[in-house]
Structure 1
């Protein structure tokens, strides 16, 4: 009984005392923000047809659908072209800010608003990757995903180093100003009745606004440490809970997909793999698709291997080595799907969801390699820039040129 209580107390202390998986949460932040940013940039020339007010799925049709399913989308607040262009630009900037880890808490909320608004505006243009991104954008709001590999982390390290040297750290003004502007926008949207399709998203937005305002006020004026510790514990619990939900969501996706494939005969005889390879929509490389489909052995390995890996993956989480092997196989599978079937954003979303299970040691080594590569690139750039000459050197060069003439 004492051992059980000791284990339980240690578990509670770990869950409440720190935000677990800082590298995993940073990877999913970078992965999902990068996936959505690349998608928005690729579809920028086609944004009017996909989400614009004059697109095939008209503004009135979208209003009727959201009134029935209570989906949130800020694009239906106005049918003007100016509002659409400004919001699309806001979605791009929010994705870039979240990717870089700049004002991560604010960027994660704006990222969620951008994803939900654009996808719910035209629900018939998405695929499985969009569904994953839809869910993960909601979960990311609850995570502390800017602890590492972010501009926020670098700013915090610099502030800590300045305090250690005894220097005065200037007060943060960007955060309060940013949240004051967003708070004013939220008040106007609430007063004018823009949130008329549901209460979940506006409640989340108001909770985030009030919570971060409280955090800033306590950090600025509270002299005792107890309020800060309490807020930090609440944030850690929300982060760890959201991370568990993200893991459970990934397992649920693979489990349902694998067991659904078992029930039918198309994955048993290989036709579920064969036919998509010969559809024009999923054949960016017809020669490669023909090469794969010409071999019955390849079709059998792909079909049965996909089913076995997806069904087995949730059960291998308790064995680290087997889990890592299946994780590599899943990432290879999605990479092949991206190339052969021409679904890069679906594959990127699924690979990012898989990355939450990557070992911390591997992610640290990966981060160290990226840091060394960045230092080398910076050093090469510095070497290519010639050093400024002194006045004596300039005079000597000028004298040499005169003598040459």
Structure 2
């Protein structure tokens, strides 16, 4: 029941952001996203998000919801633009060595086994290309607000991979889920993610039906 649970979601997200001692950017993004999703959830007549819409399109409501979606997309674009441009004011990022320092940090850096793998690149000339690659990628994520569906789909996959590597490197698990939710709304214009999940559900149901259904006698199968 998104009409009710959206407010509870916002309450929890704001409570975490305002009371937890150690807050990362993902907690703040989750709170902003929960707030901006309320117009969509309140006007959604369905029992849950997996149900097919029962009512025809309502122009007034559609405009209201599209405005909310637009603000979410602007929020995502600004986050990545700020992340990309902000790095240019740091000497290590401009020099192309920042990735080495972040990965080798004794507190928030990569675990030993992964750092040894990373250092094959960060201790070589490749570190400059990788460091600047992060900046270019984040600015490219900002530019996706003007891109077509095909380009957005590519960056959606790259975004998931980028933030998954942040989990492995820095252990920011909650940050990954906040950004993954934001990326789906920002880049998945055709609701490909919903189609994929529904397809998986149908395959699971089919597999269960085949498994549960008693097999026919051999002579009746031909």
Q: Normalised by the size of structure 2, how large is the TM-score?
A: 0.79
Aligned residue number for residue 139 of structure 1: 36
Matched, 1:341 2:170: yes
1:260 aligned residue (86, 100, 107) = 86
CA distance in 1, matches of 2:93, 2:141: 18
Aligned residue number for residue 27 of structure 2: 130
On the 8 A contact 2:13/2:31 being kept in 1, the answer is: yes
Deviation at 1:330, TM superposition (A): 2.5
Deviation at 1:278, TM superposition (A): 2.3
1:217-296 superposed matches below 5 A:
234-283=60-109, 285-295=111-121, 296=124
1:57-96 superposed matches below 5 A:
none
Aligned residue number for residue 190 of structure 2: 360
CA distance in 2, matches of 1:298, 1:333: 18
1:332 aligned residue (152, 158, 161) = 161
Deviations 1:40-91 (A, max 9, x none): xxxxxxxxxxxxxxxxxxxxxxxxxxxxxxxxxxxxxxxxxxxxxxxxxxxx
Aligned residue number for residue 182 of structure 1: none
Structure 1 runs of 4+ off > 4 angstroms? Answer: 145-150
Deviation at 1:151, TM superposition (A): 3.4
Aligned residue number for residue 202 of structure 2: 372
Bigger Rg over Cα: 1
On the 8 A contact 2:13/2:27 being kept in 1, the answer is: no
Gaps of at least 5 residues in structure 2 are: 216-222
Matched, 1:306 2:134: yes
CA distance in 1, matches of 2:115, 2:46: 38
RMSD: 3.2
Deviations 1:12-64 (A, max 9, x none): xxxxxxxxxxxxxxxxxxxxxxxxxxxxxxxxxxxxxxxxxxxxxxxxxxxxx
CA distance in 1, matches of 2:43, 2:207: 24
Distance 1:332 1:145, change over 3 A: farther
Aligned residue number for residue 220 of structure 2: none
Deviation at 1:365, TM superposition (A): 4.1
CA distance in 1, matches of 2:106, 2:45: 42
